[in-house]
Structure 1
Amino acid sequence: MDTPADTPRDPSVDLHELRRFNRFWVNLICSLDYGRHLPAPFTDTEARVMYELARRQRVDSADLRVTLSLDAGYLSRLLRGFEDRLLITRSRSEEDRRRQRIMLTPLGWEAAGLLEEGSQEAAGTLLSDLSTADRARLLHSMRTIRVLLGEDAEELADARAPRIALRTARPGDLGWMVERNAALYAEEYGFDLSYEALVARIVAEYAEAFDPQWDRTWIAELDGERAGAVMCVRDGRPGVARLRLLLVEPSARGHGVGRQLVDSCVEFAREAGYGEMVLWTNSILDAARGIYQRAGFELVAESAHHSFGQDLVGQDWRLTL
């Protein structure tokens, strides 16, 4: 049974979980040891200092101490070691002669670059075994931790907002498009099996005749889950592209997924050298028609027809690229 939201929590339980996570994270980061490939290895603290020096290019030692929460004496010894290794130069600040300005030397920049490469490799190792959905969950949780414990409310709202990502199709995506088109149109508009047959033919023709110069499919993901799709295909007439099978899952509507899919389709067609883009839809698809209009498409023809078990009004739309 769920615990009511207003039931008092035992603070010791929260502290235990926080400390447990902290031990786990520290051990995980230490196990990566991303400075191990350098000729002269860096400790974790030294790597943090090098990262800050590279990120900010020039910084006062006092600001560095505050940013990294380091003891002044310890930082001074660390910087002296960097200076002995010819990684940094130290000079008086032009703005305040009491302050010490620190900059990386060419050798220091080389070391910082190697540290960054190692850090990227280590991060990639952490993420490589995760599925797309699990990776999105992990990164969302990490943003939330960072914001709740150290950043402002605007960042917090951004961390809680759904994350939209577009990518090109991978194996399995085309089958998913057939399934979701058939299921959604049956549920929302009462379309029969003939619509699934049409979508299957469109997808099969796309896969069989695919040419990356002229054809492209995008999959939209919302927080790591497939949430929409669209195709750009050759129409058969010279210089004409056709937009096909725009789909947005109900759970993803209202987040701009459809707009981003259509915009990507139009941009690709324009860059590929098409002169115009066309599409066919039905008048009952109000949301889709709104997206097409905002993208600049114009209605050029419409006619009544009986298809997919329904009486419909088909519409032809056109966009000059």
Structure 2
Amino acid sequence: MSKSVAADQIAAVRDFNRFYTRHLGVLGQHLMDSPYSLTEARVLYELAHREAPLAKEIGASLGLDAGYLSRIVQAFVDGGLVKRTPSPADRRQHLLALTAKGRAAYADLERRSVRDMGAMLERVPETERPRLAAAMATIQHLLGNGPAAAPILRSPRPGDIGWVVQSHGAFYAAEYGFDASFEALVAEIAGQFLAAHDPGRERCWIAEYDGAQAGSLFLVRDSDAVAKLRLLLVTPQARGHRLGDKLLNEAIGFARQCGYRKVTLWTQSILIAARRLYQNAGFELVGSEPHRSFGQNLIGETWELRL
């Protein structure tokens, strides 16, 4: 056992591996009720997605023993799935390609995989599927074999509203010197939303990036015709992924669906990045007024978007 990794962490990964391999049905002799083992299916996948590769290239990609791979390839050749041609660069090596029969076999495997994955995801609530996909991408990213999870927007879960309050308080104190009265205002707004929001006309979005909360935005009713945006935040760690644009576009689209005629918001002139987001989304500055709030001398601004 590695001395630098906790035993409970190793046990958790092993437990997940046992669960997932059992869930995917890869422990049997054949994959997805096909004639092929998991390794054979992976070789077919590589052949279908490469242009005339050498056997050693596939072996290196999959980490397969050369002798084991050679037996798989020979079985595919004997079965009419693969054809071999000598490499022009080295006559001792052979280029591999799927035959028409091999392409049909791969297409059948692909259909089975899509069918089985669809059936598995159908058991997951639709609202939780983006979270599942993001968690898988996070695993792939952290183990060094893929991109970071794509940002997602989702409804709040228990603990998220508390995160919104804490994050606003900490961020605005660090960046702009706001005092505790700002955090109190955020807590009041968030608390009112939790206690009495109308889910048909009001909504909160939590942005998630790489498996962690990364931003927020609330849209609340101001009147039958007017909606108000509140508590827009993108964490410094998640900047550069257009999360602010995604949050605004989602809120504006929802406002249109609800039949609002206008969306309004109140911000401060010093919030340059946020003001740029509002302007790019089509909002117009309709009023400004100096005020003393949150321990600072500020200029408050009202922006509006007609839908």
TM-score category of the 2 structures, normalised to the smaller one = 0.5 to 0.7
Q: 1:315 offset after TM fit, Å? A: 0.9
Q: Kindly tell me: are residues 135 and 145 of structure 1, through their superposed partners in 2, closer, same or farther at Cα, counting changes over 3 Å?
A: closer
Matched ranges for 1:20-31 at <5 A: none
Structure 1's 215 and 108: CA in aligned 2 closer, same or farther, altered over 3 A? Answer: same
The reply on whether 1:192 has 2:190 as its aligned counterpart is no
Structure 1 partner of 2:26: 34
Offset from partner CA, 1:44-101 (integer Å, 9 cap, x none): 2443467679x88xx99x7898996665531134457xxxxxxxxxxxxxxxxxx942
Aligned to 1:226, the other structure's residue is in SS state: strand
Write the letter of the residue equivalent to 2:175.
E
The answer (yes or no) to whether the contact 2:149–2:211 under 8 Å persists in 1 is no
Tell me the CA shift for residue 283 of structure 1.
1.2
Q: Runs of 5+ in structure 2 lacking a partner?
A: 1-13, 60-68, 82-97, 123-128
Shift of 1:122: 8.4
Distance 1:207 1:39, change over 3 A: same
Supply the distance in 1 between the matched residues of 2:215 and 2:58 (Cα, whole angstroms).
43
Task: Decide which moves more: 172-181 or 217-226.
Answer: 217-226
1:300 aligns with 2:292: no
In structure 1, what is the Cα distance between the partners aligned to 2:156 and 2:149? 21
Which has the higher mean CA deviation after the structures are superposed, 260-269 or 239-248? Answer: 260-269
Partner of 1:265: 251
> 1:145 matched to which residue of 2?
145
Contact 1:168 1:219 in 2 (8 A): yes
Instruction: Kindly tell me the number of residue pairs found equivalent between the two proteins.
Output: 257
Match of 2:238 in 1: 252
2:261 to 275, 281, 294: 275
1:180 alignment partner in structure 2: 167
The equivalent of 2:37 in structure 1 is 43
| Separation (CA, whole Å) in 2 of partners of 1:30 and 1:306 | 60
Q: Are the structure 2 counterparts of residues 288 and 33 from structure 1 closer, same or farther at C-alpha, using a change threshold of 3 Å?
A: same
Does the Cα contact within 8 Å between 2:135 and 2:149 map onto a contact in 1? no
Q: Which amino acid aligns with 2:216?
A: A
Q: Kindly indicate whether the alpha-carbon contact (under 8 Å) linking 1:305 and 1:313 is maintained by their aligned counterparts in 2.
A: yes
Query: Cα 1:52–1:250, aligned 2, differ >3 Å: closer, same or farther?
Result: closer
1:121–1:68 Cα change, 3 Å: farther
Q: Any idea what the Cα deviations from partners look like across 1:117-156, whole Å, max 9, x if unmatched?
A: 44678899xxx9x9999755422145x436xxxxxxxxxx
SS in 1 for 2:217: strand
- Residue 182 of structure 1 aligns with an amino acid whose one-letter code is G
Report the CA distance between 1:301 and its aligned residue. 1.0
Amino-acid identity (%): 41
Match of 1:113 among 111, 115, 120: 111
User: Could you tell which deviates more after superposition, 292-301 or 306-315?
Assistant: 306-315
- 2:156, 2:205 within 8 Å by CA — same for their partners in 1? yes
Deviation (angstroms), 1:298: 0.2
Mapped to 1, the partners of 2:216 and 2:35 lie a distance apart of 47
Give me the whole-angstrom Cα distance separating, in 2, the residues matched to 1:305 and 1:259.
Answer: 28
Deviates more, 1:245-254 or 1:31-40: 31-40
Helix, strand or coil for the counterpart of 1:200?
A: helix
Could you tell me how far apart the structure 1 residues matched to 2:58 and 2:253 are? 44
Secondary structure of the residue aligned to 2:219 is strand
Normalized against structure 1, the TM-score is what? Answer: 0.63
Partner secondary structure for residue 100 of structure 2: strand
Deviation at 1:261, TM superposition (A): 1.9
What root-mean-square deviation, in Å, do the aligned CA atoms of Structure 1 and Structure 2 show?
4.2
- Describe how 1:69-88 pairs up with structure 2 within 5 A: 71=70, 72-79=73-80
1:210, distance to aligned residue in structure 2 (A): 2.5
